[in-house]
């Protein structure tokens, strides 16, 4: 409006006062120049009806820290899916919970902790019985004696002499090293008591590493880091107290893995991320992807005739406990391995949708899904390589052995050991790929269903200025406002 600056009807001194704000009425006019129409301020929250960029900017100032509202219908549907899943998991834990596990008593030689005091090396040509060498061993043998002071057991403080460890994988020792020593008593067969170094004592180093891990997690995550450590402790408890004993007692490994994975997921996700709709959507997405992963892995193991006995460890398990279903154990391993990556992807997708909905509450289901799916695709492309590298790194010695064997590439790739690892990688990746659209759709449905579109306040009907307002060059007084100085 240009009338206040070029008004010719009012007194000249009033026009000058409008520039220097010496009169309360002109001062009000300066304020009215910026806030005469309250409609733009009221409509700032309705920018979400325009483009996404402006909507995100206009909404973030007022609602950036508030959770997205959800409808009661979305909450009821979430509870209708989660409560049966939690009840089924609880029933499975009760039915499959192992009783007292029968373990074989330790019949090996006693072990003692010790500290290396001195190492005396000698020429192997001067000893009566040099260590045996295989044709593949090119390094010269090591001979000599190690003095170890025992730090535990009935002979604590005593110093004993042992031979320097030799052979493939033998630990190298030096003065000050903490070692584990085994005692062999052959006096009943006419021999004597001998001591041998079994391995390094890594207890102190492991505790230091665990302490550094705990401090790093707590320092970065604070209370959420503490919750993450609690979830990790619960995971180990389920693995050691439920999954492993139940499988050893003859329960179906696949069924045990499903129940145990569901228990881990339900407790850990809510413990670390809190009880909320995004976390619930992540739980539902993980459950769906986990069920699909189990079905796909069972189909792949059946079609490829995998026995689950491709490694020395699995063969030894069958010798110790022949009642274990080895193909089922393979399926359980695939399922548990996939769970660790599934919850990462589902939580990311659920909270991505939540942040998008908070930034722009006007986004509907389709736009929320499309935007979050782009994030999910970028995440999946990096996680796929992570899964393959994780399995390849764990089986690297066996890969070296297979390649060094000189067998044709096709035979090597289709061998049961590599077939198992390929199945693990492919099935785990398929589970991740299905987890992204499922979780994204669930989270977008919950977020878009709770958007409350604010009704635009009706604009006041314009009124012509009266004589006094026209004389002072003021805009017409609107409903609910009053010019200063007017009564």
pLDDT tens-digit series, residues 141-164: 778 889 999 987 788 888 898 888
> Which helix or strand (DSSP H or E) is residue 14 part of?
helix 12-20
Strand partners for 151: none
In percent, how much of the chain has pLDDT > 70?
A: 71
pLDDT in tens, 437-470: 999 999 998 887 644 444 444 555 666 666 665 6
> Taking a C-beta distance cutoff of 8 angstroms, is the pair 305, 330 a contact?
no
Residues of the chain with CATH 2.40.50: 111-125+141-201
pLDDT band at 56 (very low <50, low <70, confident <90, very high): very low
Dig out the tokens for 218 from the structure. Answer: 């707590």
CA triplet 327, 332, 333: central angle to 5 degrees? Answer: 95
Res. 217: pLDDT tops 90: yes
Strands 159-163, 143-150: pairing kind: antiparallel
Res. 408: pLDDT tops 70: yes
> Taking a C-beta distance cutoff of 8 angstroms, is the pair 442, 285 a contact?
yes
CA triplet 230, 235, 238: central angle to 5 degrees? Answer: 125
Res. 282: pLDDT tops 60: yes
pLDDT band at 130 (very low <50, low <70, confident <90, very high): low
Provide the whole-model pTM. Answer: 0.67
Closest to 243 (Cα-Cα) out of 364, 350, 339, 132: 339
pLDDT in tens, 298-353: 899 889 888 888 777 778 887 777 778 888 888 888 888 888 888 888 999 999 99
Q: How far is CA 211 from the centre of its chain?
A: 20
Which range among 48-57, 155-164, 231-240 has the greatest average pLDDT?
A: 231-240
pLDDT band at 42 (very low <50, low <70, confident <90, very high): very low
Dig out the tokens for 158 from the structure. Answer: 């005593």
Rounded CA-CA distance 358/64 in Å is 6
Q: In the predicted model, what is the mean pLDDT of the chain?
A: 76
> Taking a C-beta distance cutoff of 8 angstroms, is the pair 21, 27 a contact?
yes
What 3-state class would DSSP assign to 479? coil
Q: What is the length of the chain?
A: 487
Q: Which CATH architecture has domain 111-125+141-201?
A: Beta Barrel (2.40)
């Amino acid at each position: 409006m240009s009338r206040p600056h070029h008004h010719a009807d009012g007194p000249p001194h009033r026009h000058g006062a409008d520039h220097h704000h010496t009169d309360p009425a002109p001062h009000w006019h300066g304020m009215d120049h910026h806030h005469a129409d309250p409609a733009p301020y009221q409509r700032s929250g309705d920018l979400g009806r325009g483009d996404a960029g402006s909507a995100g900017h206009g909404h973030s100032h007022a609602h950036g820290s508030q959770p997205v509202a959800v409808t009661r219908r979305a909450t009821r549907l979430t509870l209708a899916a989660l409560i049966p899943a939690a009840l089924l998991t609880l029933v499975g834990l009760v039915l499959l919970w192992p009783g007292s596990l029968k373990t074989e008593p330790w019949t090996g030689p006693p072990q003692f902790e010790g500290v290396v005091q001195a190492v005396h090396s000698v020429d192997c040509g001067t000893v009566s019985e040099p260590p045996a060498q295989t044709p593949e061993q090119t390094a010269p043998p090591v001979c000599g004696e190690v003095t170890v002071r025992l730090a535990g057991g009935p002979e604590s403080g005593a110093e004993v002499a042992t031979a320097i460890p030799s052979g493939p994988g033998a630990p190298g020792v030096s003065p000050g090293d903490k070692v584990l020593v085994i005692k062999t008593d052959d006096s009943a067969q006419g021999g004597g008591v001998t001591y041998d170094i079994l391995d390094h004592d890594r207890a102190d180093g492991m505790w230091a590493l665990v302490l550094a891990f705990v401090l790093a997690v707590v320092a970065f995550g604070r209370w959420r880091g503490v919750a993450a450590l609690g979830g990790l402790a619960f995971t180990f408890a389920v693995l050691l107290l439920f999954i492993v004993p139940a499988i050893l007692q003859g329960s179906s490994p696949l069924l045990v893995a499903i129940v145990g994975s569901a228990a881990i997921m339900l407790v850990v996700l809510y413990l670390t991320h809190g009880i909320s709709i995004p976390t619930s959507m992540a739980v539902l997405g993980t459950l769906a992807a986990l069920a699909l992963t189990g079905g796909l892995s069972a189909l792949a193991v059946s079609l490829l005739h995998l026995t689950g006995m491709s490694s020395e460890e699995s063969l030894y398990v069958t010798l110790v406990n022949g009642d274990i279903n080895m193909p089922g154990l393979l399926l359980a391993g695939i399922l548990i391995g996939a769970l660790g990556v599934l919850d990462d992807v589902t939580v990311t997708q659920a909270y991505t949708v939540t942040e998008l909905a908070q930034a722009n509450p006007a986004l509907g289901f389709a736009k929320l899904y499309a935007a979050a799916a782009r994030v999910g695709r970028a995440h999946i492309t990096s996680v796929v390589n992570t899964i393959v590298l994780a399995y390849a790194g764990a089986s690297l010695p066996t890969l070296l052995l297979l390649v060094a064997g000189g067998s044709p590439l096709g035979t090597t790739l289709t061998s049961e050991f590599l077939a198992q690892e390929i199945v693990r990688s492919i099935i785990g990746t398929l589970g991740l790929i299905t987890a992204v659209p499922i979780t994204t759709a669930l989270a977008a449905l919950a977020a878009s269903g709770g958007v409350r579109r604010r009704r635009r306040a009706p604009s006041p009907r314009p009124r012509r200025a009266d004589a006094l307002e026209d004389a002072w060059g003021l805009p017409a007084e609107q409903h609910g406002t009053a010019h200063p100085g007017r009564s």
